[in-house]
């Protein structure tokens, strides 16, 4: 939810006229002393009836276990956080104004103040789930509701809207902050409540991060006259259906919102609320007069929000609606990895940044370390000239990378078959994955895993990678066989022997060592990096190839580690990174993005095979001269 740029000091009167409970009660009171309480309640019935008739049904992701995957919070009553001994109200300097603040305390609090919930907003763990999650309360979810109208103009008929405000105690997405206000707005082409009751809605607008999405009423999922809405897990950005959603701007959010099932349906209470400028300190809605922020103060995107009364959708609801987008962008089920990479990367990078924001010394040290390391590595090697032939010769570390590229450019036809195989296998794997997720019981498992935290995301990515790993391993070994065959022609049947019987096993061993040994990979991988090309070039069994690699790399482990990991990183990440960059430029051109990334990937894997082969020849040349 976006605060209005002018914040709590904004003095401009809103260009909307609100039909509120307080105004109608005043009108009823003017009718004379004989007006009974029942009559006054009857007088507000039209607005309340309208609000209740079209109150959204809220479907949140089901959370099967406390602190597990799924949505932990429901649209709550603000009273949940008021008059609580573990909640503090702080001034702009961070000093405690009072503990267990009441609505009246919030009303009297100065601008620049904030309240602080128990728990650390950037290191939430399970604290907020246990303290404020829907599992911990018997209260029914709640929608705070107001009715607003727009004066007609020469080019616009009158409009009326019912706003349904939702308060979530914690925002657990790429940004982390206490308190999160979201809103669904049902719009009517009507001047009065009675007209709205008679004519019905014309459209619905849903808040999504700093923007909104609007949809005509006849295109909205409904149960009777009630729209069905889907707050995304963690971010609570509201959508019209169940999908994985893609965003890359302030309005739509930068990352992926998830509203996929299984879901649980909430039927919230409707509570009409007054206008913020009519409340007093002794009002039940005194918190609408709070000028501060609704949670712990943090830097940047993790800062807590101002109250709803300072947002554009409160102050100018129809302009806000008209400025919204007409459709959100779904992450395609058919995906060659770019959008999946983007979703995982934004989530995990954001979490890493949030972790380091509370440890700035770590962030500074990491940035300095990376920059210094890259500069030193680049200066300590030689990149030119690229020497693709002869294969058996010494090369500097940088020359291994550039010479492999030159080798592919000099022999495009030899490697074309491998490139096509990799690209086609990626397309087939994406189609198979889509079918499995949509038509088998595995889909539910993948959905649950994918909604987890870092471990769940990594598991889901690993599960997807297993579909293409066998093809990539075979293609890598074939690329090494092609490289060595350039200067030592061998019959095609011997390729198959090298591919299936010689090079595959050491390549699998290297892959498992890289994936499964964790930090020990830094010790294991350089020792076995030359095993697969040794098996292919010298026709060795896998045990002999591993021994040969260990021997060749004995005095060159650090250099072998740097070259191998650099080449693997480029081969596996260049395609997805390029795809993400294209998405940032071309928006939702998913087909173009995935095709380009797939083509890049199809050529970087053969390049990796050439790098490993040239590295083996370099090690063999160094060993023969006694280095």
- pLDDT at residue 54 is higher than 60: yes
The set of residues, in sequence order, having a beta carbon less than 8 Å from that of 407 and lying 6+ positions away, is: 388, 389, 483, 486, 610, 614
Q: Residue 434, Cα to own-chain centre: how many angstroms?
A: 20
- pLDDT at residue 592 is higher than 70: no
pTM for the structure as a whole: 0.64
Position with higher pLDDT, 496 vs 132: 132
- The pLDDT > 70 percentage for the chain reads 75
Lowest mean pLDDT among 76-80, 139-143, 485-489: 485-489
As to burial, measured by CB atoms within 10 angstroms (0-12 exposed, 13-18 middle, 19+ buried), residue 348 is middle
- For residue 576, the model assigns a pLDDT of 73
- For residue 624, the model assigns a pLDDT of 77
Confidence of residue 553 (pLDDT cuts 50, 70, 90): very high
- pLDDT at residue 9 is higher than 50: no
Strand ranges (E), 267-381 = 269-272, 329-330
Q: Can you tell me the distance from the alpha carbon of 432 to that of 427, in angstroms, rounded to the nearest whole number?
A: 9
- pLDDT at residue 105 is higher than 90: yes
Q: How many CB atoms neighbour CB 92 within 10 A?
A: 12
CA triplet 562, 364, 559: central angle to 5 degrees?
10
Q: Residue 292, Cα to own-chain centre: how many angstroms?
A: 28
Q: What is the mean pLDDT of residues 528-540?
A: 88
- For residue 494, the model assigns a pLDDT of 54
- For residue 419, the model assigns a pLDDT of 87
- For residue 574, the model assigns a pLDDT of 82
């Amino acid at each position: 939810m976006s605060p209005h740029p002018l914040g709590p000091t904004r003095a401009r009167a809103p260009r909307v006229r609100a039909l509120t409970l307080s105004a109608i009660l005043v009108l009823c009171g003017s009718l004379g002393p004989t007006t009974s309480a029942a009559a006054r309640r009857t007088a507000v019935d039209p607005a309340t009836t309208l609000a209740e008739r079209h109150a959204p049904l809220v479907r949140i992701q089901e959370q099967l276990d406390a602190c597990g995957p799924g949505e932990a919070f429901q649209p709550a009553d603000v009273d949940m956080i008021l008059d609580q001994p573990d909640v503090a109200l702080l001034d702009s300097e961070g000093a405690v104004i009072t503990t267990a603040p009441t609505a009246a305390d919030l009303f009297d609090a100065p601008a620049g103040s904030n309240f602080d919930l128990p728990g650390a907003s950037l290191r939430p763990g399970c604290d907020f789930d246990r303290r404020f999650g829907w599992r911990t309360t018997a209260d029914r979810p709640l929608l705070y509701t107001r009715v607003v109208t727009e004066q007609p103009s020469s080019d616009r008929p009158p409009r009326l809207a019912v706003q349904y405000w939702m308060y979530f105690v914690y925002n657990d997405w790429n940004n982390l902050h206490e308190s999160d206000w979201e809103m669904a707005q049902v719009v009517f082409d009507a001047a009065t409540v009675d007209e709205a009751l008679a004519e019905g809605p014309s459209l619905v607008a849903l808040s999504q991060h700093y923007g909104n999405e609007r949809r005509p009423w006849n295109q909205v999922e409904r149960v009777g006259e009630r729209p069905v809405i889907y707050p995304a897990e963690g971010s609570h950005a509201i959508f019209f259906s169940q999908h994985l959603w893609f965003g890359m701007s302030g309005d739509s959010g930068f990352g992926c919102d998830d509203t996929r099932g299984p879901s649980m349906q909430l039927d919230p209470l409707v509570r009409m609320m007054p206008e913020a400028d009519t409340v007093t300190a002794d009002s039940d809605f005194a918190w609408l007069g709070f000028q501060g922020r609704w949670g712990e103060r943090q830097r940047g995107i993790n800062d807590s929000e101002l109250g709803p009364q300072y947002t554009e959708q409160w102050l100018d609801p129809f302009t806000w609606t008209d400025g919204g987008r007409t459709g959100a962008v779904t992450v395609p089920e058919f995906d060659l990895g770019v959008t999946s990479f983007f979703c995982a990367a934004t989530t995990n990078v954001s979490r890493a940044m949030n972790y380091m924001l509370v440890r700035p010394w770590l962030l500074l040290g990491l940035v300095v370390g990376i920059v210094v390391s890259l500069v030193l590595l680049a200066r300590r090697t030689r990149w030119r000239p690229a020497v693709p032939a002869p294969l058996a010769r010494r090369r500097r570390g940088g020359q291994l990378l550039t010479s492999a590229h030159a080798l592919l450019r000099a022999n495009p036809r030899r490697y074309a078959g491998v490139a096509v195989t990799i690209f086609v296998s990626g397309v087939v794997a994406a189609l198979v994955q889509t079918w499995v997720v949509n038509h088998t019981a595995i889909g539910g498992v993948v959905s649950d895993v994918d909604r987890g935290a870092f471990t769940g995301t990594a598991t889901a990515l690993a599960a997807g990678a297993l579909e293409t790993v066998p093809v990539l391993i075979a293609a890598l070994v074939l690329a090494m066989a092609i490289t060595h065959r350039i200067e030592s022609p061998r019959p095609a049947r011997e390729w198959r022997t090298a591919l299936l019987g010689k090079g595959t096993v050491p390549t699998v061993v290297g892959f498992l060592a890289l994936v499964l040994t964790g930090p020990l990979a830094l010790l294991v991988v350089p020792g076995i990096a030359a095993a697969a090309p040794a098996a292919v070039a010298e026709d060795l069994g896998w045990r002999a190839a591993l021994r040969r690699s260990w021997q060749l790399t004995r005095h060159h482990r650090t250099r072998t580690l740097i070259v191998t990991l650099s080449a693997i990183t480029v081969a596996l990440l260049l395609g997805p990174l390029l795809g993400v960059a294209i998405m940032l430029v071309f928006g939702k051109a998913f087909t173009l993005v995935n095709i380009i990334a797939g083509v890049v990937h199809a050529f970087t894997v053969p390049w990796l095979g050439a790098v490993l082969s040239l590295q083996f020849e370099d090690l063999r040349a160094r060993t023969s001269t006694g280095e």
